[in-house]
């Protein structure tokens, strides 16, 4: 009788442990799904915040990428407006709050901070004579890559914020 009782309790213990393990796994999956949705909403808000402030910057990028890029006074006028626009984006990103995105929160915060700094550097480079935004452009791409990787790490498709915010 004691052997049966011990066997019965052992089976009950095994099943309860297995159930707890599945609950923890289900909980992790739910948490990942919640973080994914929150990360997607955060990213869309980030894109909107940048787009709210970067119209002149986008106009400058489009102009210098055209078949006949502007020169002289026209280039200077576009660059001045783009510099002010990049500075607005930088300031907007400084105040941009990253929600709790689980273990990825700090990665997103760092990427947004780096993006803010890159826009500030872009504003400075656009004021230089001659215009020099090469290092700022590289910093922007690096921040964009970090955001893309963070999105991928929470189960979303990686994205390029520079493409998503271009006019």
pLDDT in tens, 110-161: 999 999 999 999 999 999 999 999 999 999 999 999 999 999 999 999 999 9
The encoded tokens of residue 155 equal 């189960």
Q: Is residue 128 part of a domain?
A: yes
Instruction: State the helix-helix crossing angle for 72-94 and 55-64, rounded to 10 degrees.
Output: 140
Q: Is residue 41 part of a domain?
A: yes
Only one residue has tokens 């909980």, namely 27
Q: Is residue 18 part of a domain?
A: no
Domain that holds residue 145: 31-164
The structural domain count of the chain equals 1
Q: Is residue 52 part of a domain?
A: yes
Q: Is residue 130 part of a domain?
A: yes
Q: Is residue 37 part of a domain?
A: yes
Q: Is residue 5 part of a domain?
A: no
User: How far apart are the C-alpha atoms of 113 and 100, rounded to whole Å?
Assistant: 16
> Whole-model pTM?
0.79
For the chain, give the mean pLDDT: 86
Q: Is residue 19 part of a domain?
A: no
Give, for 18, the enclosing helix (H) or strand (E).
helix 2-51
């Amino acid at each position: 009788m004691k052997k049966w009782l011990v066997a019965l309790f052992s089976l009950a213990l095994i099943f309860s442990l297995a159930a707890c393990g599945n609950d923890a796994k289900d909980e992790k999956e739910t948490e990942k799904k919640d973080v994914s949705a929150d990360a997607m909403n955060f990213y869309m808000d980030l894109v909107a915040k940048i787009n709210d402030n970067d119209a002149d910057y986008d106009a400058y990028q489009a102009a210098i990428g055209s078949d006949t890029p502007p020169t002289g006074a026209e280039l200077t006028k576009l660059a001045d407006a783009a510099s002010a626009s990049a500075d607005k984006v930088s300031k907007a990103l400084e105040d941009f709050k990253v929600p709790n995105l689980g273990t990825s929160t700090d990665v997103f915060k760092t990427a947004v901070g780096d993006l803010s700094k890159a826009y500030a550097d872009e504003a400075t480079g656009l004021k230089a004579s001659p215009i020099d935004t090469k290092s700022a452009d590289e910093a922007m791409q690096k921040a964009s890559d970090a955001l893309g990787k963070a999105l991928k790490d929470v189960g979303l498709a990686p994205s390029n914020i520079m493409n998503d915010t271009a006019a």
